[in-house]
Structure 1
Amino acid sequence: MKFEQRVQVRILGAQRPYSYSWWFEPAAGVMPLQVGDRVELPPNQVQEEGSSGTVVAVGTSYKGELKSIVRKIEDAYEREDDLWAGFGEGDYV
């Protein structure tokens, strides 16, 4: 079963955090995000290739529709393969 988590993400150079959704499925090993997690964000009208940011809050007061986070960016010590693992994959390639 998938669950939606709503978080606020700080994007480098942005004046304020932006709200996004994260779909996770514990049974498949995809866990909820935590403050401090780095994430890959989908493209938008400003960043045509997408961008990345850091989760600064779990939950948001925004009630509208949200774009979904593409993936959590794993820390180097959590990866077993190379630095670019997962790059060029996913819905926005």
Structure 2
Amino acid sequence: MKAEQRVQVRILGAPRPYSYAWYFDPTAGELPLKVGDRVELPPNQVQEEGSSGEVVAVGTGYKGELKSIVRKIEDAYERDDDLWGGFGQGAYS
């Protein structure tokens, strides 16, 4: 069961935050977004490859249809794999 959460996202260089939808399944252990989370955004007319931003508010006054957030960008300490695996080892360390 997917739940919809509406958030406002600040995109670097944008004059104001934009509203997006986040769909998550609480029965599968997925979490809602919170202020400060970094997210990947879908492509649009200006940025054909998509962009990223930071959640600055939970909820929005916008009542229309929203584009969906692609994914939450995990911080390095939240990752399952070792982002820096092998750093400081090898022939050049």
Instruction: Mark yes or no: TM-score above 0.5.
Output: yes
1:79 alignment counterpart: 79
d(CA) in 1 for partners of 2:82, 2:26 = 25
SS in 2 for 1:27: helix
d(CA) in 2 for partners of 1:80, 1:17 = 31
SS in 1 for 2:22: strand
d(CA) in 2 for partners of 1:74, 1:26 = 18
TM-score of the two chains, using structure 1 as the length reference:
0.86
Q: Unpaired segments of 5 or more residues in structure 1?
A: 84-93
> Deviation of residue 7 (structure 1)?
0.2
SS in 2 for 1:52: strand
Query: How many residues align structurally?
Result: 83
> Which amino acid letter does the alignment assign opposite residue 38 of structure 1?
R
d(CA) in 2 for partners of 1:59, 1:47 = 24
Q: Deviations over 1:36-77 (max 9, x none)?
A: 000000000001000000000000000000000000000000
1:41 alignment counterpart: 41
> Deviation of residue 82 (structure 1)?
5.2
What pairs up with 1:22-37 in 2 under 5 angstroms? Answer: 22-37=22-37
2:58 alignment counterpart: 58
SS in 2 for 1:40: strand
Alpha-carbon RMSD = 0.9
Q: Which runs of 4+ in 1 moved over 2 A?
A: none
Q: Unpaired segments of 5 or more residues in structure 2?
A: 84-93
Paired-residue identity, %? 86
TM-score of the two chains, using structure 2 as the length reference:
0.86
